[in-house]
């Protein structure tokens, strides 16, 4: 009888848990540049074509990258100075991101003015 009670409690506990949607895995390098965002959160959409070599973004900006058949969004961290990162480092699951460089204009929050 004790085993039945434990099983009932375990089943109830399991049923009450909510499952969060899986977020894309990001590398520790990618985390220095911000974090993945929902595609609907993008304030600006940038279309990436095979001819695209570079994209300029601002610190703190959320950008939706449209690759034609798929898209992904990224919120860029506020960082001092200007930085450059390959888009494939941020979105490793999207092959079309390879060879596209993101130029991030730094935030004035660290300027000391």
Tokens of 26: 């990001």
pLDDT score for 112: 55
Note the pLDDT of residue 79: 73
Mean pLDDT estimate for the chain: 77
User: Does the pLDDT value for residue 57 go beyond 50?
Assistant: yes
Residue with the bigger pLDDT between 107 and 31: it is 31
Which token pair is 98?
Answer: 């390879």
Q: Which of 41, 34, 79, 85 is nearest to 63 (CA)?
A: 41
pLDDT above 60 for 83:
yes
Could you tell me the two tokens for 64?
């939706």
First to last CA, the chain: 71
Residue 72 has pLDDT above 70, yes or no: yes
d(CA 64, CA 16): 34
- Cα–Cα distances (Å) from 109 to 69, 78, 101, in that order, read 37, 8, 24
pLDDT average, residue stretch 57-74: 93
Q: How confident is the model at residue 10 (pLDDT cuts 50, 70, 90)?
A: very low
Residue 63 has pLDDT above 90, yes or no: yes
* pTM for this model (two decimals): 0.68
Q: Report the C-alpha dihedral over residues 44, 50, 53, 54, rounded to 10 degrees.
A: 10
All structural domains of the chain: 28-110 (2.60.40.2280)
């Amino acid at each position: 009888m004790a085993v039945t009670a434990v099983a009932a409690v375990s089943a109830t506990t399991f049923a009450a848990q909510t499952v969060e949607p899986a977020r894309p895995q990001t590398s520790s390098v990618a985390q220095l540049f911000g974090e993945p965002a929902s595609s609907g959160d993008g304030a600006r959409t940038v279309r990436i074509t095979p001819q695209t070599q570079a994209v300029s973004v601002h610190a703190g900006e959320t950008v939706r990258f449209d690759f034609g058949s798929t898209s992904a969004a990224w919120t860029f961290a506020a960082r001092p100075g200007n930085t450059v990162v390959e888009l494939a480092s941020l979105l490793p699951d999207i092959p079309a991101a390879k060879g596209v460089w993101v130029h991030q204009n730094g935030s004035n929050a660290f300027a000391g003015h």
